[in-house]
Structure 1
Amino acid sequence: MAHIYVFSPSSAVRDKAAFRRGIKHLQAMGHEVEVDVAALASHMRFAGDDATRIEAIDRAAASGADVALISRGGYGLTRILPGLPYKAIAKAIDKGTQFVGLSDFTAFNLAVLVKTGRITWQGPALGEDFGTAEEPDDIMLACFDDLLQDQGEGAGWQRPKADAAIQTKAHDAVLWGGNLTVLTSLLGTPYFPAIDKGVLFLEDIGEHPYRIERMLTQLLHAGVLARQKAIVLGQFSHYKLVPGHDKGYKLNTVVEWLRGQLKTPVLTGLPFGHVSTKVLLPVGAKVDLVTEGRDALMVWGHV
């Protein structure tokens, strides 16, 4: 049984039913779930004003929990990064608390990496992943359980057939990344990691391929992409093409264009993003990445 602390550092929780289902599911798994006093706070679109959300993060760090799990993503972390209790967060991680989330939580992951050098996790959120109307995804649950039991040592996936010819090996590379929109918004700030020869993973939701290309282009022109050992693309979901206007321009078009701009290998198919099937990824950990045919394996060992 694990102690899980649920907190809301970003947008207000609107789907209370999913929130309650998520808590019940974690409890049914045998975990002790502690809910932050401001987890359901609401201020404009946020889960409380800026001070309230910083205090929630501080309480999560002081909770002594095995996992500090976000209720949801949305928006709100980038505006409070200067006020985060980085020393308290680092102390909590050193004592064994794993901070887990995705989407807007990318800002937290990257800022903590820059300011403290500590590892945090890109993974599920309470409502989106544990609070679904259907049963939560088996792979996500298995990866989460591995984290709780300190057994997760890597992730493997099968790439699209068309990508089988693209092979790479990366050894002892820092794994970093997350949501493309949030990561790109940090470029040029003190919270953007200066990582060379890393493995950069990216995902997004609701962004048309041309907007994905525009953000990738910004990272390309800033020199970020060429400095990596590999770019790993996760799932880009919930967007709509415009057949009469796009005229064949789609996500694969963006991927092929990006590959034409880089010597750095661009891999696809990572099971991570705003989708039910997701692995958990340690932001800031050293990883080995290897491909063989369509298979890709990323190993980080115990972190």
Structure 2
Amino acid sequence: MTAARAPIWPRPGRAVAVTAPAGRVEPVALAAGLEALRALVGQRPLLAEGLATAEGYLAGPDQQRAARLGRLWADETVDLIVCARGGFGSSRLLPLLDLPAMAAAGKCLLGFSDITCLVLALACRGLVGLHGPVLTQLPRLDQASLADVSALLAGRPPWPGRLTGQGAGGGVAEGPLLGGNLTMLCHLVGTPWQPDLDGAILCLEDTGEAPYRLDRMITKLELTGLLDRVAGVALGGLDAAGQSPPEHLEALMNRLRVRGLPLVWDLPFGHGARNRILPMGARARLDGAAGLLETGLDL
């Protein structure tokens, strides 16, 4: 896969919009997230119609959630769309969206976790997608992650970026940055929206998964041959705190070390307070000895 092109970065006077493509949004979390976003952007965000709609564990029916996102994408006053939360349901929108047209329009989409499938779908169609904080995560972010969001909102994308983790060896590799939530990546395998990982720096994070489930998922990527195609692997947080408990980490590292690829763990992205923005589809460099992930090299 060749590197994707940069989106149109937020411009002065343009709206920052919020929508919910996946799980229902709890009112208290929504209010806190909107307050945090308002403080960063200096104005009230544009809220998608029916943002607080709930249908079971989803933020409304599939067609309604897809239509919300589509309307914001077509709104010429909007440059950046922030997803309210992850949860479940984004992948159900993939057949309902005109992804080539969305990629051609060049807007910024910010989100992670369940939103991974939307971010990857854009990246694999030629537009950098932003794997980073959702709205409801903003109130608990650390300063470095908030600085990423603040810079983006001001139209000053924070790339090239340097994220430091723990090196596990394997040398240095460079390629398009792809991946995100491990569960969602496995969910896409075998579908028309499976990403092309040839030569990619594969970044992975997750939460709420037992070690044996992490083992099962990385084994699936191995059995399908996808791990044979990547140039290196970058691991973020593996639990709700954004940490990597030893038993969770070993479930992945035991399978990855033997491949001899550049490998870095404990990088600051995931479900905890550390969730730096990763430009999916842009060029990245991974140094397994130095424990360094450099992102957005071509932005």
Cα deviations by residue, 1:167-195 (Å, 9 ceiling, x for unpaired): 42123x11100100011011011101122
Segment drifting more, 282-291 vs 221-230: 282-291
Tell me the SS of whatever aligns to 1:227: coil
Change (3 A) 1:7 1:217: same
State the percentage of identical aligned residues: 31
Q: 1:58 to 1:137 in 2, by over 3 A?
A: same
5+ residue gaps in structure 2?
1-11
Q: 2:173 corresponds to which residue? A: 170
Among 287, 294, 297, the residue aligned to 1:298:
294
TM-fit CA distance, 1:130 = 1.9
Q: Is the 8 A contact 1:20 1:131 kept in 2?
A: no
TM-score w.r.t. structure 1 length?
0.86
Distance (whole Å) between structure 1 residues aligned to residue 231 and residue 170 of structure 2:
12
Identify if the C-alpha distance between structure 1 residues 58 and 289 changes in structure 2 by more than 3 Å, giving closer, same or farther: same
2:3 corresponds to which residue?
none
SS across alignment from 2:93? helix
Are 2:30 and 2:135, in contact at CA under 8 Å, matched by a contact in 1? yes
1:156 shift after superposition: 2.6
Does the 8 A contact of 1:177 with 1:202 survive in 2?
A: yes
Deviations along 1:193-240, one digit per CA (max 9) or x if unpaired, are: 12211100000010011100100000011111121110111100049x
Q: Distance in 2 between matches of 1:61 and 1:53?
A: 13
* Cα distance in 1, alignment partners of residues 251 and 288 from structure 2: 22
Which residue, 183, 197, 203 being the options, matches 2:185?
183
**Structure number with bigger Rg:** 1
Q: Residue 23 in 1 paired to residue 34 in 2?
A: yes
Q: Which residue of 2 aligns with 1:245?
A: none
Q: Distance in 2 between matches of 1:299 and 1:51?
A: 34
2:177 & 2:139 partners in 1: Cα distance? 28
Q: 2:122: which partner in 1?
A: 112
| Selected match of 2:230 from 220, 228, 235 | 228
- For residue 37 of structure 1, the aligned residue among 37, 49, 52 is 49
Following the alignment from structure 1 to structure 2, what is the Cα–Cα distance between the partners of residues 152 and 260? 31
Distance 2:257 2:286 in 1: 22
Give CA-to-partner distance per residue, 1:247-286, whole Å, 9 cap, x none: x981232233113441323221111010111110011112
Contact 1:155 1:299 in 2 (8 A): yes
Which of these residues, 248, 267, 272, is aligned with residue 251 of structure 1? 248
**Structure 1 spans left out of the alignment, 5+ residues:** 240-247
Instruction: State the alpha-carbon separation in 2 of the partners of residues 291 and 113 from structure 1.
Output: 24
8 A contact 1:73–1:105 mirrored in 2: yes
Q: How many residues align?
A: 281
In structure 2, how many angstroms separate the alpha carbons of the residues matched to 1:151 and 1:185?
30
CA distance in 2 between partners of 1:18 and 1:232 (Å): 30
Aligned partner letter, 1:52: Q
Deviation for aligned residue 1:32: 4.0
Mapped partners of 1:256, 1:47: distance in 2: 36
**Aligned residue for 1:216?**
218
CA contact (8 A) 1:152 1:301 kept: no
